[in-house]
Amino acid sequence: MHSLGGKVAARRAPMAPPRSFIWTRRIVLTVLTIFALLPLYVMVSSSLKPLQDVTGTFRWIPSPITFSSYIQMWQTVPLAQYFVNSLIVCTCAAALSVLVATFAAYAVSRYRFRGRRVFTLVVLSTQMFPGILFLLPLFLIFVSIGNATGITLLGSRTGLIITYLTFSLPFSIWLLVGYFDSIPRGLDEAAWVDGCGPLRALFRVVIPAAIPGIITVAIYAFMTAWGEVLFASVMTNDTTRTLAVGLRDYSTQNDVYWNQIMAASIVVSIPVVVGFLLMQRFLVTGLTAGSVK
């Protein structure tokens, strides 16, 4: 019954909901909207206030309105450099995460092999590891690798990329398995008949059919990496610092530049918010596909 999947168009118009429902809907949705919007409004309005207004008594409407914080924020802190670092780290982590997860999900989805269940369980269970448990050990392991092989992982973007791509791997694999499962094997086998190996089938047939899932996974991995604070604070140095750590520098010895913090927050959030809003429809499809079994 559930396999009808989402969007069954009604053949006749749905019966009109009762008034009480409409009013409940209006009230609840309005309250939730205010709840969601309040901090967003504070961010925007505070970014337009001069420093003394934003550290003084709160006022709803900024007056005077000034864009100075959007200009000064690039100088108070090397924001552009942090931006570039974050972009590099997160894009690479997302790209690699997609690649690795695609291969793994293809294996789990298309093959019944010994250890399949163990692998899935182990990967899923890593979701519950408290980050603090493996922060220091991971650090020590990166150091050992650096000493043994000469590859610098600490303080370099590579180390952070490897860390971030692994963080998003469990969810990505889980989501992609769901997507791949919903792609009928007939497609694969049609490709085999045409003379493709399983890998070529993967690239020619399965991946194109699962593009929404792949985009979702990419954006999810990017978002996860963009917002991570703890590991970034330990594993970066001056040149490789990301935005997550860099924004803390706006609270200096003399002042907390709240207006610049808000302005920087807005600018920093735009990529992920836009990306997320664009892909959330695919996330929904992916989650539905995942739960349809």
Partner 1 sequence: MPRPSPIAMFAIAAALAATVAGCSSSTSASTSTSTAAGSTITYWASDQGSSIADDHTVLNPELAKFTKQTGIKVKLEVIGWPDLLNRITAATASGQGPDVVNIGNTWSASLQATGALLPWSSQNFSAIGGESKFVSSAVGSTGAAGKPPAAVPLYSVAYALYYNKALFQQAGIAGPPVTWADLIADGKKLTHGSVYGLALEAGSIPENIHNAFIFAQQHGCSFFSPSGAPTYTLPGCVQGVQQFVNLMGTDKIVSPGDAEYDQNQSVSDFASGKAAMLMWQAAGANLKAHGMSTSQYGVAPVPVQSGVPGQGTSVDSMVAGINMAIFKDTHNLAAAEKFVQFMTSPAEQTILSKEYGSIPPVSAAQQNAAFATPELTVLKNVLATSAVAMPQVAGESQFEQLVGTAVKNLFADAVSGPVSAQTVEQQLSSAQQQMTG
Partner 2 sequence: MAPASTPTPAPVHPARTRARAGGGGHRATARRRGPGRLRRIGLPYLLLLPALLFELLVHLVPMVVGVLISFKALTQLYLTQWVHAPWAGLGNYRIVVDFNGAIGQALLHSFVVTCAFTAIAVSLSWLFGCAAAILAQDSFRGRGLLRAIFLTPYALPAYTSVITWAFMFQYNNGLINYVLHNELGITSSPTFWLLGDNSFVALVTVSVWRNWPFAFLVVMAGLQSIPRELYEAAAIDGAGVRQQIRLITMPSLRPVNQVLVLVLFLWTFNDFTTPYVLFGNGAPPPADVISMHIYDASFLTWNFGEGSAMSVLLLLFLLVVSGGYLLFTSRRRNA
Q: What's the distance, Cα to Cα, between the start and end of the chain in Å?
A: 12
230 binds partner 2 (CB under 8 A): yes
Q: Which residues fall within 8 angstroms of residue 81, CB to CB, at 6 or more apart?
A: 239, 241
Q: Quick one: which of 183, 186, 139 has its CA closest to 162?
A: 139
Is residue 100 part of the contact set for partner 1 (CB under 8 A)?
yes
Residue holding tokens 């997550």?
Answer: 244
Nearest to 92 by CA among 189, 15, 152, 162: 162
- 245 makes contact with partner 1 (CB under 8 A): yes
* 43 binding partner 2? (CB under 8 A): yes
The reply on whether position 211 binds partner 2 by CB under 8 A is no
Q: Is 85 in the site for partner 2 (CB under 8 A)?
A: no
CA 290 to chain centre: 18
117 binds, among partner 2, partner 1, none (CB under 5 to 8 A by kind): none
User: Are 50 and 64 contacting, i.e. CB atoms less than 8 angstroms apart?
Assistant: yes
- Residue ranges in 136-155 that form contacts with partner 2 under rule CB under 8 A: 136-138, 140-141
Q: How far apart are CA 263 and CA 247, in angstroms?
A: 11
Minimum separation from the CB atom of position 28 to partner 1 (A): 34
Helix axes 258-291, 157-181, angle to 10 degrees: 30
158 binds partner 1 (CB under 8 A): yes
Question: Total residues at the site for partner 1 (CB under 8 A)?
Answer: 48
Cα–Cα distance for residue pair 94/117, rounded to 1 Å: 25
- Residue 155 site contact among partner 2, partner 1, none (CB < 5 to 8 Å, cut-off depends on kind): partner 1
From the list partner 1, partner 2, none, pick the one residue 238 interacts with, judged by a Cβ distance below 5 to 8 Å according to partner type: partner 1
Tell me: does residue 103 bind partner 1 (CB under 8 A): yes
Please give the radius of gyration of the chain, using alpha carbons only, rounded to the nearest integer.
Answer: 24
The footprint of partner 1 on residues 27-56 (CB under 8 A) is 55
Chain residues 105-134 in contact with partner 1, contact rule CB under 8 A? none
Treating both helix axes as pointing N-terminal to C-terminal, what angle do 211-226 and 258-291 enclose, rounded to 10 degrees? 150
Does 88 participate in binding partner 1 (rule CB under 8 A)?
Answer: yes
Choose which of 72, 76, 120, 166 interacts with partner 1 (CB under 8 A). 76
Which residues are CB-contacts of 288 (< 8 A; sequence separation ≥ 6)?
A: 5, 6
Tell me the per-residue interface mask from 239 to 268 with partner 2, x by CB under 8 A, - otherwise. ----xx--x----------x--xx--xx-x
* Residue 97 host element (H or E): helix 79-110
The footprint of partner 1 (CB under 8 A) covers: 55, 75-78, 88, 91-93, 95-96, 99-100, 103, 136, 139-140, 143, 146-147, 152, 154-158, 161, 192, 195, 197-200, 233-234, 237-240, 245, 248-249, 251-256
